[in-house]
Amino acid sequence: MKQTYGTPNYHVQKLSSLNKGTHVVPMLLNNEVATGQDGLYASAVWDQPAKEVILKVVNTSDKPQNGEFLIDGVKNVQGKGTQIELRSNNLDAVNSFENPATISPIQKPVTVKNKKVNLTLQPYSVNIIKVKVS
């Protein structure tokens, strides 16, 4: 019997490929492109067939970061969305045959209020946030 497991890198690549969207949209942090300020890197896409805005946010720092994301330029935003988080407090952790899910994506609900998503981004995390819009 053959065994396989997904490495953390595999999970990052899979999350990226499954959430590529159809159009890139601007993603700003303090009115600048989100490229490393306070250890945060981010991008955003619009997925036209799914009618979703998808935010991809990485926290490379060793501390939690509060993020407030405003979804602008759309008429309606659903009050709920999802967050998929991939993280570990232990930077030496690995997946193995004995523990194949040590570092695996976890999906949880997010609330959207007044077109804003407020989240605490955990240290050393890759986050995909999906919100339905019209």
pTM confidence score: 0.91
Provide long-range contacts, Cβ within 8 A and 24+ apart, for 28-37: none
- The yes-or-no verdict on residue 109 having pLDDT over 80 is yes
Please report where in the chains the tokens 């979804």 appear, as a residue. Answer: 71
Token output for 59: 């926290």
pLDDT tens digits for range 6-59: 999 999 999 999 999 999 998 877 777 778 888 999 999 999 999 999 999 999
HEC readout, the chain: CCCCCCCHHHHHHHHHHHCCCCEEECCEECCEECECHHHEEEEEEEECCCCEEEEEEEECCCCCEEEEEECCCCCCEEEEEEEEEEECCCCCCCCCCCCCCCCCCEEEEEEEECCEEEEEECCCEEEEEEEEEC
pLDDT tens digits for range 68-89: 888 888 888 888 999 999 999 8
pLDDT tens digits for range 85-107: 999 989 999 999 999 999 999 99
The partner residues of 26 in beta bridges, in order of sequence, read: none
Tell me how far apart the terminal alpha carbons of the chain are, to the nearest angstrom.
48
Cβ atoms of 56 and 44 closer than 8 Å: yes
Residue 122: alpha-carbon gap to chain centroid: 11
Output the pLDDT for position 29: 74
Topology at the third CATH level for domain 8-133: Immunoglobulin-like (2.60.40)
